[in-house]
């Protein structure tokens, strides 16, 4: 069985300088939970950008959902991106839209009828603890509230993959634990989760999580779980 994500000898170079990421080869299993960690400047955000199709690699092959996305025609990219939810480090909420309308945006883009999106959006607002803030605009929300709106927007369409870049970086430890619980709950529904974080304390919060560690542009595999099927044990 193939992975939902496959990187083969992927390298990324900006301009003519040295490669930011080199020789990335790994496979993520469908329905897995992965933490991506490493020091600042290790290339976590760059790896995530390639994963959610915002950045093409300089070399190598990337397959998502069984298809080569490096050679994918530009016209097909939006369809792939709709299958991937993204929580950006800087939220990227639309300031003139309410929390309700920010969360509803992916459904509207997908062509869901207005009558059919009210219930799921309200349920999502309740799920992230913001039922009473539906009409509030992002500038009036706290950082933690904005983060929860961003997460709700990313998961409203039940993506097959959820990518989150430092999702707990702007919230207190209690809120961080709550957000991680939301990701874990989504994972139990079958979504593959990839969370980039520099907070090593989070790594033990999800018992089933695997750890990917970037260091100097190279990917380490401390939990031995980046190959699918898992490597056989040698005795």
Structure tokens at 5: 């994500």
**Structural domains of the chain sorted by starting position, each given as residue range(s) with its CATH number in brackets:** 37-55+80-213 (3.40.50.300)
Q: What is the mean pLDDT of residues 59-71?
A: 94
Check if the beta carbon of residue 65 is closer than 8 Å to that of residue 80.
yes
pLDDT-wise least confident of 83-92, 167-176, 201-210: 167-176
Angle at the Cα of 181 from the Cα atoms of 176 and 118, rounded to 5 degrees: 105
Per-residue pLDDT tens for 144-154?
899 889 999 99
What per-residue confidence (pLDDT) applies to 225?
Answer: 61
Check if the beta carbon of residue 155 is closer than 8 Å to that of residue 162.
yes
73-106 as b/e: b if 16+ CB within 10 A: eeeeeeebeeebbbbbbebebeeeebbbbbbbbb
Per-residue pLDDT tens for 152-201?
999 998 899 999 998 887 777 887 887 888 888 889 999 999 999 988 88
- Dihedral sign, Cα of residue 63, residue 38, residue 91, residue 181: positive
Angle at the Cα of 50 from the Cα atoms of 191 and 232, rounded to 5 degrees: 60
**Beta-sheet pairing, 84-87 with 161-165:** parallel
What per-residue confidence (pLDDT) applies to 61?
Answer: 95
68/6 Cα distance (integer angstroms): 9
Q: Any bridge partners for residue 85, and if so which?
A: 162
Q: In terms of pLDDT, which residue wins out, 228 or 99?
A: 99
Structure tokens at 88: 């950006």
pTM confidence score: 0.88
What is the average pLDDT score of the chain?
Answer: 88
Over 90: is that where the pLDDT of 95 sits? yes
């Amino acid at each position: 069985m193939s992975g939902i994500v496959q990187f083969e000898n992927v390298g990324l170079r900006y301009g003519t300088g040295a490669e930011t990421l080199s020789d990335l080869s790994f496979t993520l299993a469908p329905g897995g939970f992965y933490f991506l960690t490493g020091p600042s400047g290790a290339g976590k955000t760059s790896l995530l950008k390639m994963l959610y199709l915002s950045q093409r690699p300089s070399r190598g092959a990337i397959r998502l959902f069984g298809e080569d996305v490096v050679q994918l025609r530009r016209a097909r990219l939006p369809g792939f991106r709709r299958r991937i939810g993204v929580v950006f480090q800087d939220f990227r909420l639309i300031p003139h839209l309410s929390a309700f309308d920010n969360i509803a945006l992916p459904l509207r883009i997908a062509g869901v009828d207005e009558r059919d999106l009210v219930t799921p959006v309200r349920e999502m607002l309740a799920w992230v603890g913001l039922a009473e803030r539906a009409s509030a605009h992002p500038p009036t929300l706290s950082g933690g509230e904005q983060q929860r709106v961003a997460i709700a927007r990313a998961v409203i369409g039940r993506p097959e993959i959820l990518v989150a870049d430092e999702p707990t970086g702007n919230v207190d430890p209690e809120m961080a634990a709550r957000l991680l619980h939301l990701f874990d709950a989504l994972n139990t529904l079958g979504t593959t989760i990839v969370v980039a974080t520099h907070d090593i304390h989070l790594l033990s919060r999800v018992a089933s999580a695997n750890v990917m560690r970037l260091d100097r542009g190279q990917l380490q595999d401390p939990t031995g779980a980046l190959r699918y099927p898992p490597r056989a044990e040698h005795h």
